[in-house]
Structure 1
């Protein structure tokens, strides 16, 4: 019963943290709607969460708590890089909103290659300081406080929740295919994407110049 609760704890905490409107989730959803490189994107995002949670539970989160200066430097660097990347992606989304037919080729987003798509997936995942706060620090602290035998089950629960979410997000998006058969729907979506990305970019930029 205790070990089952450890799995459920990891699953529930990961689900609560991951189900939110964020840059990574929006990117996965858009890839699902376009039906472009969905499997590698879903796998990359799920495996990244597994890696980060495992690192936190293994003790990296506790180590970082003892090095606040390093955490501040890393947060500053990621915030600045994330702000630049999200600004670029937001501007690209705004340009697509003005010409939704660009969806077919990727348009202002860049070459629609597997390498380009995975590069964007990596940027959305690892240039966001919040992902480290959620996975390495928060989930690492919760999972790391469990007895040794329960930690792998906590990580397994978190990884299961992450994998299910990204599969649903990436492949479930196809159900909206009839809606997004119209350019107007893409114009609305990309307008929303542009707004969200620019707001997040401003927030990250503010963090990078803050005290």
Structure 2
């Protein structure tokens, strides 16, 4: 495969995935909270990056086609995912309505143990249909435009985007720590997340029928 074509495939994978990653979802919100608290940031970033690598590779190797040919899998995934997103929305809404002191304390607390943190981010990643849709279906489909020889270069670019994004957010969010020291910032973030999760959950639920 010519070097120029390989580079184009890498750049395409990087650009498409980066555009998807910039949306404020459950993954990003969780990483922001841990980054501001300086708790297990590397662990969370590594799990996100590794998960993306597995899911993107699955999409490129045909997972998207398998799901497309088995409608019941899509329905089951949608129902489980919608339930998860509704639950996450409820938790975000609850945090948004907490007192100022409780909200302010989240900037320095984060989740406690590494085990709890790992379980939480793993669930947020693997039970979130939005993440699965983007990594498996959208990126898996986009990779086909690069042809058989260029798909894995596309995958390399996409995984590189995930690596850059999650590390940058996790370790760079500290620069915004003064803003997040204000309770109203957390209220806006949590409120926006709750609304977004409700919308996504409803869309996913409706897609099951």
TM-score band w.r.t. shorter chain: 0.7 to 0.9
Q: Which runs of 5+ in 1 are unaligned?
A: none
Which residue number corresponds to residue 72 of structure 2? 73
Residue 15 (structure 1) aligns with? 18
Name the residue aligned to 1:192. Answer: 192
- Closer, same or farther in 2 for the Cα pair 1:13/1:182, shift >3 Å? closer
Matched position secondary structure for 1:177: helix
CA distance 1:142–1:198, shift in 2 (3 Å)? closer
Match of 1:34 among 34, 37, 50: 37
| Counterparts in 2 of 1:49 and 1:73: CA distance versus 1, 3 Å | same
Instruction: Give 1:178 deviation, angstroms.
Output: 0.8
The answer to whether the 8 A contact 2:144-2:151 is kept is yes
**Which TM-score applies when normalising by structure 2?**
0.82
Displacement of 1:141: 3.0
Quick check: 2:56–2:136 contact (8 Å CA) kept in 1?
A: yes
Indicate if the aligned counterparts of 1:57 and 1:143 stay in contact, CA closer than 8 A.
yes
Distance 2:72 2:100 in 1: 39
Structure 2: distance between partners of 1:35 and 1:170? 9
Count of aligned pairs: 202
TM-superposed CA distance for 1:45, in Å, is 1.1
Deviation per residue, 1:22-72 (Å, 9 max, x gap): 22222222222232221111111111111111112223333444x1xx2x3
Sort the Cα spacing of 1:189 and 1:19 in 2 relative to 1 into closer, same or farther, 3 A. Answer: closer
The aligned counterpart of 1:54 is 57
Distance 1:141 1:188 in 2: 35
1:91 aligns with 2:90: yes
Note the 1:1-211 alignment, pairs <5 A: 1-65=4-68, 67=69, 70=70, 72-97=71-96, 98-103=98-103, 104=105, 112-144=112-144, 146-208=146-208, 210=209
* Contact 1:56 1:144 (C-alpha < 8 Å) held by counterparts: no
* Alpha-carbon offset, residue 159 of structure 1: 0.4
Once the two structures are TM-superposed, the CA of residue 6 in structure 1 deviates from its matched residue by: 1.6
- In the alignment, the residues of structure 2 paired with residue 140 and residue 8 of structure 1 have an alpha-carbon distance, to the nearest angstrom, of 15
Distance 1:147 1:64, change over 3 A: same
Structure 2: unaligned runs, 5 residues or longer: none
